Amino acid sequence: MGYHVTILRTIDGQLHPLSREEIHAAVAGMDGKLAAEHREGGELRLYRPLQGRASEIMILQDGELWAKNPGKTFLALMLELAGKLEARVRGDELETYRTPDLTYAHPDDLPLIEAARVESRQQVRRVQRQGWIVRLAALGTVLLLAYLWRLYQGA
């Protein structure tokens, strides 16, 4: 599955999609560190031209640029690009990157973070309940087998 890191722009909790035009303008101002490629079907990909086919890529999807498992160097390029787009870089765990090594909780993400915490607690409770049900079922099975064994021994 991998870990996705996204360049997105939010203002007061609302997503403001990135456009192809502003992405192209931002990439043009990065001194050749990134290049844009239009794929079949209109997909826009950004890559490091000096890396060629070995380059990590960013893909524009639903107004956000995302990369899968970016290394620190590529993450630094994502941060530079995000700065030019007046956007930010966010990981799968809703952490926003200041640098490749430093993250924080962005105010626009606080409702999402709280919702994720609530969901996580609910999942833990469900798993714990299921664990108790399995244990009780196992105990019930053992008790039933013991009872049947005693009946069988007495016959």
Question: Domain check: are 50 and 114 in the same one?
Answer: no
Q: How many whole angstroms from its chain centre is CA 19?
A: 21
Question: Domain check: are 14 and 89 in the same one?
Answer: yes
What's the residue count for the chain?
155
What's the pLDDT band for 113 if we cut at 50, 70, 90? confident
pLDDT tens for 48-59 read 999 988 899 999
Indicate the average pLDDT of the chain.
Answer: 92
* Three-state DSSP class for residue 43: coil
Say if pTM beats, i.e. exceeds, 0.85: no
Question: Domain check: are 115 and 95 in the same one?
Answer: no
- Among 104, 123, 145, residue at a domain's last position: 104
Nearest CA to 93 among 73, 76, 70, 117? Answer: 117
Question: Domain check: are 99 and 132 in the same one?
Answer: no
Tokens read off for 78: 């994502």
Question: Domain check: are 70 and 136 in the same one?
Answer: no
Q: What is the domain range of residue 58? A: 4-104
Question: Domain check: are 23 and 93 in the same one?
Answer: yes
Where residue 91 falls (left for φ over 0; alpha for ψ -120 to 50; beta otherwise) is beta
